[in-house]
Amino acid sequence: MTKITLLKSALVGLFSAFVLGGFSGVVSAAEAIKVGVALPMTGPYAGDGVGYDRGITMAVDEVNAAGGLLGRPLEMVRFDTQDFAPELVMRAADQLVGNDKVDVVHGGWAGWGQDVVAYGKYDVPFFMWDASILAIEEIRKDPVQHSNVFQLNDIEKPQAIDIFDNMLSLPYEYPNKTVAVITADDSWGTEMGSGIKERAAENGWEVVVDEVVPYGTREWGPILTKIRATSPGWIHLEIVSSPDLITFFNQFNESPTNTLISMGYGLSLPDFASNIGEQGDGLIGMTAGMPMPVGPTPEANAWIERFREKFEAEPAAGSFPVYTGVMIWASAVKAVGDPTNYEAINDYIANTPHETVVGTWTFDADHKVPLSSEPVLHLQIQDGKAVTIDWGAGQPYLDYEFRTPPWIKQ
């Protein structure tokens, strides 16, 4: 079998065909290969961390159920990165790699560039889902030093452009060409907001409300006063906190304007749809990786069903990408034949097309997966669930269509 065939087998559910190494579904008593997991399990991003942890756990459990990797079991070693304070991100790398001697580290959001510095000083492969230009800028400073760092999605601006273009492609007649932009005071929020505003200017749209808020904002009166005074065509919020977003919508809905609302990545958080329910019908958002609740291929649907059965929950935004990161690493280890030959493993990961259940992923020169491989998925809350209505810049997703929100009076 070729390496590409092996990768295809791995990522469409036939991983056991090439990781068993002569074993038959039973992990041996051999020394475990340690898998570092650096995630926010407490603090403001904890809701996101749960989704990442489930994706990584699912991949590790599937490898072990299939007989392990090179006949050895995988063992997860976790570190709570909390709020991504630089000292915590650095401590995570030193603890996991320097002290715990893990052979790979998988993270979701991991620090917007400071994680590249923290893990780039080591050789073990490091996977993250930062979607951060700051991370790319750090990699570009010394590509050789940071050749072990892999970003499982694209950066903010391409995603922001896609969000704006999708909003314009909806089958909806805007009352005006104005937008309100509200973001959190972190790198993700401000960079996404900047991209939205730049794209608005390019398309002749006016930004009538521009606000940056701290996490934990619960009182939205002053901002809503501005929104009601200007009645923008749509509002974009980029805040990775379900309570912040839900309180905004509840207060907006007390006296709504004829305004579409896009809640960006926050709408895809595991606890958002479950907490807002059908009251949130009509809200729009985005993510990347795996369309939900129906996948694009039978293999993707099988993956979704395995996830639901295992966790009794829907996959979160980052669950599938980080799952895939584990499987890409495992494929590379199998091909190289030694989990400690980090240079060969990193080279294999960087230069091999990787077949996933949603298509082929290939890392570009910046060691990120571009939108062409992992497109932005546009979501809408319908009947209390987040469903995919668009697969990248106006490309329709046939299972669900956009619905005009109930608060819009036309």
Does the pLDDT value for residue 288 go beyond 90? no
Query: What is the pLDDT at residue 222?
Result: 97
Kindly report, residue by residue over 367-380, the tens digit of the pLDDT.
Answer: 999 988 888 899 99
| CA geometry: angle 228, 229, 231, nearest 5 deg | 60
Lowest mean pLDDT among 25-29, 47-51, 136-140, 146-150: 25-29
In the predicted model, what is the mean pLDDT of residues 342-362?
A: 96
In the predicted model, what is the mean pLDDT of residues 135-147?
A: 95
Query: What is the pLDDT at residue 112?
Result: 81
CA distances from 391 to 199, 249, 257, 374 (A): 19, 25, 28, 10
| Per-residue burial over 363-386, b = 16 or more CB atoms within 10 Å of its CB, e = otherwise | beebbbbbbebbbbbbbbbbeebb
Query: What is the pLDDT at residue 394?
Result: 59
Query: What is the pLDDT at residue 319?
Result: 93
Furthest CA-CA distance within the chain: 69
Query: What is the pLDDT at residue 21?
Result: 37
Alpha-carbon distance of 196 to 146, in angstroms, equals 30
Does the pLDDT value for residue 322 go beyond 80? yes
Domains of the chain are 3-155+293-361 (3.40.50.2300), 157-289+374-391 (3.40.50.2300)
Residue 392 zone, left/alpha/beta (φ > 0; ψ -120 to 50; rest):
left
User: For all residues of the chain together, what is the average pLDDT?
Assistant: 90
For residue 388, count other CB atoms closer than 10 A to its CB: 22
In the predicted model, what is the mean pLDDT of residues 382-399?
A: 81
Nearest CA to 19 out of 344, 331, 338 is that of 331
